Amino acid sequence: MKARFLSGFLGAVAALTATASAAKEPLAHWPDEARATIESVLADAPEGSFAVFDADNTIWQNDLEESLLPFMEARGKLSPETLDPSLKPIPFHKGETLYGYYLRLCAIDDNLCYPWIAQVFSGHTLGELKGEVDALMARTAPIPVRYEENGKVVSGTVERPHIFEAQRELLDELRARGVHVYVVTAASEELARMVLSDPLYGLNLAPQDIVGVTMVLRDPESGALTTARSQVARGHFLDADYPAEKHMGMEMTSTLWAPNTWYQGKVAGIRTYIDAVNRPLLVAGDSPSDRAMLFEASGLRLWIDRSAAKTAALEEAKAARAKAQSESGQRVDADTNWLHLRQEQLAPRP
């Protein structure tokens, strides 16, 4: 499993400028009106434009970490007993699963559970985690989960990510038009990279163009510490000096590396790692955590609608921001250049 990934990953690094095989028709899975809107924005795109996408529920349906967590727990790869003690800010309930514990943390605050679900995978090498991600992505059955609801333990299921064919097409079309594509995700950067940059999944993101929640990595042999972001900054990431084999042998620790890419931290990720001055031409997202970077878009704000409540909250945020812009004498643009699409319009399954 690991050898297969390394071969594919090295091939991706050697061909970062390659795109997926051309579709018969650009944006073929997009509704006509949405396709026309995107075409209009791309026709006027300035040279050097870039686009930023969220990953979970934006590029694919469902959440990578929220499915990987119960998947690995069921396989005996994660457990409350082996969890880093620093990741137990509240006591576990008797018999509680890691997934159920995560939901309880989210009920307290996203700023508690967002980092936690990236940190929970610490103690494993990236190669081990890649094997788990690939096994998850190959799964066809839903994943059982157990959690508390209204004081009672209930059972349910979650599903692994299903890539939106329409988004795959959009990524290819943006690159074909000279727009550089990045992902800024609130998920673990390393886990997201395992899907986004593996040729197996056909999304073709360059490994260095994924920005997410970054954990410090430890070399199990020497104890030396690094991060992917540090290696990118040094100009040695997945090259002869720091090859993919070495990277995949690194152990993920539970120590966070700033900036933390959720909510306003997504804008910090853009400014720190992508462009300190220029705004992205297009931004795509689906959740309140994506709002700050959606407002940064200069050309098109692509909202993936998966919840009436989240969309209603977005409309309130648009109105409030537009009002604040007007009252401060700024150009009012917070409520313009939006394209809303429901998940089912993006062809999530073959």
Residue where a domain stops, chosen among 107, 138, 158: 158
Q: Are 108 and 208 found together in one domain?
A: no
For the segment 4-57, what is each residue's pLDDT rounded down to a tens digit? 445 455 455 444 434 444 446 899 999 999 999 999 999 999 999 999 999 999
Q: Are 45 and 71 found together in one domain?
A: no
Q: Please report the sign of the dihedral spanned by the C-alpha atoms of residue 243, residue 245, residue 246, residue 251.
A: positive
Query: Could you list the residue range(s) of the whole structural domain that residue 190 is in?
Result: 2-61+163-346
- The strand pairing partners of 146, in sequence order, are 155
The domain that contains 112 carries what CATH number?
1.20.1440.310
- 176 compared with 5, residue with greater pLDDT: 176
Look at residue 347 in the predicted model and tell me its pLDDT: 76
Q: Running DSSP on this structure, what letter comes out for residue 347?
A: -
C-beta atoms surrounding 46 within 10 Å: 11
Residue where a domain stops, chosen among 129, 158, 187: 158
Q: Are 153 and 174 found together in one domain?
A: no
Q: Are 135 and 57 found together in one domain?
A: no
Q: Are 25 and 46 found together in one domain?
A: yes
Look at residue 25 in the predicted model and tell me its pLDDT: 85
Look at residue 24 in the predicted model and tell me its pLDDT: 61
Mean pLDDT in the chain? 94
Look at residue 225 in the predicted model and tell me its pLDDT: 99
Residue where a domain stops, chosen among 121, 140, 158: 158
Q: Are 231 and 265 found together in one domain?
A: yes
Choice among 1-5, 76-80, 96-100, 110-114 with the minimum mean pLDDT? 1-5
Domain count, the chain: 2
Look at residue 296 in the predicted model and tell me its pLDDT: 98
Q: Are 73 and 208 found together in one domain?
A: no
The domain that contains 272 carries what CATH number?
3.40.50.1000
Q: How confident is the model at residue 207 (pLDDT cuts 50, 70, 90)?
A: very high
Q: How confident is the model at residue 3 (pLDDT cuts 50, 70, 90)?
A: very low
The DSSP-derived string for 81-115 is: TTS-GGG-SSPPPTT--HHHHHHHHHHH-HHHHHH
Rounded percentage of the chain residues whose pLDDT exceeds 70 = 92
Q: Are 203 and 322 found together in one domain?
A: yes
Go through the chain and tell me how many residues it has: 350
Q: What share of the chain is helix, strand, coil (3-state, %, to 5)?
A: 45, 20, 40
Look at residue 19 in the predicted model and tell me its pLDDT: 42
Rounded to two decimals, what is the model's pTM? Answer: 0.92
Look at residue 18 in the predicted model and tell me its pLDDT: 40
For the segment 247-296, what is each residue's pLDDT rounded down to a tens digit? 999 999 999 999 999 999 999 999 999 999 999 999 999 999 999 999 99
Q: Are 154 and 95 found together in one domain?
A: yes
The span from the CA of 45 to the CA of 297, in Å, is 12
Q: Are 192 and 314 found together in one domain?
A: yes
Q: Running DSSP on this structure, what letter comes out for residue 330?
A: -
Q: Are 151 and 214 found together in one domain?
A: no
- Bond before 259 cis per omega within 30 degrees: yes
Q: Which residues contact 265 (CB under 8 A, 6 or more apart)?
A: 259
Positions marked catalytic:
54, 56
Q: How confident is the model at residue 302 (pLDDT cuts 50, 70, 90)?
A: very high
Question: Beta strand pairing status for 210-218 and 180-188?
Answer: parallel
The span from the CA of 272 to the CA of 76, in Å, is 37
Look at residue 9 in the predicted model and tell me its pLDDT: 54
Q: Are 186 and 319 found together in one domain?
A: yes
Q: Which residues contact 119 (CB under 8 A, 6 or more apart)?
A: 84, 87, 215, 254, 256
